[in-house]
Amino acid sequence: MPRFSGTSASGSRAFLPAAGLVILIGIVAFSGCTQPMIPSPGPASATPPAAATTAPPAPPAATTVQSTSAGTGYLTYSNTQYGFTLTYPSGWSKQEGTGGAVVTFTSPSTGMGDVPAVMKVTVDDLSSSPMSLDQYRAAQVAKKNNIDSFNLIYDQAFKGVGFSGWKIAYTGNIGYLTEWVEVYVVKGTTGYTLQFSSKEDKYAGFVVPMDNMFKSFALTY
């Protein structure tokens, strides 16, 4: 047998290990190239700022204060919005913002069908049509013409606590005979009307508390 056969076999044995090494390196290299790409971590997301919050507005200060007055059996009512104060009998009820009045004081009921006495304070803004005290009084009196059997009892100046006003008294029929007493005050561009009313046959029993309320009225601004 020729010698090259043996030599060829020997060469094949030497080639196989080398070829295997090359293939192994190729596999490793290929597998390295096919590794999945892992993205580099980006910058951390910034936490979004908290939404700005607005504190709820503080509740408005109370416009009225009620406390026991120095006079026995009377309470003091003060209204900071319209700038006035007065005392009223402690047994009377108080209601604000009804019937066009800033405040209404009502005497206790004495039984079924009874008509209580009432004191109202109304305030008029005169800024669009300024008036003197005389003009304000005349405008208020003119409103009485529609009262049935209207009768003016007196019409006179009134001296209050730190102010000069005007006072009238009159009677009329609103389904029953009624007597009214009103005091008018003007300060700046604000007009005040204090109106007391009761059944005519009960009027005498309310003269003292009525006078006390009128006399205690004072402006606080």
* pLDDT at 26 (0 to 100): 41
Q: For domain 64-219, say whether CATH 3.40.1000.10 is its number.
A: yes
Q: What is the pLDDT of residues 172-208, one digit of tens each?
A: 999 999 999 999 999 999 999 999 999 999 999 999 9
As a whole number of angstroms, the distance between CA 77 and CA 88 comes to: 8
* pLDDT at 34 (0 to 100): 43
* pLDDT at 110 (0 to 100): 74
- The helix (run of H) or strand (run of E) holding residue 207 is helix 207-216
Nearby residues of 81 by Cβ (< 8 Å), 6 or more positions away: 63
Burial 49-79 (b: 16+ CB within 10 A, else e): eeeeeeeeeeeeeeeeeeeebeeeebbbbeb
Q: Got the DSSP string for 84-134?
A: EEEEEETTSEEEES-TT-SEEEEPPP-STT----EEEEEEEE-TTS---HH
Q: Which of 76, 65, 120, 128 is nearest to 95 (CA)?
A: 120
As a whole number of angstroms, the distance between CA 69 and CA 64 comes to: 15
> Which one is predicted more confidently, 59 or 93?
93
* pLDDT at 72 (0 to 100): 76
pTM confidence score: 0.69
Instruction: Report the percentage of the chain scoring pLDDT > 70.
Output: 67
Q: Where are the domains of the chain?
A: 1-32, 64-219
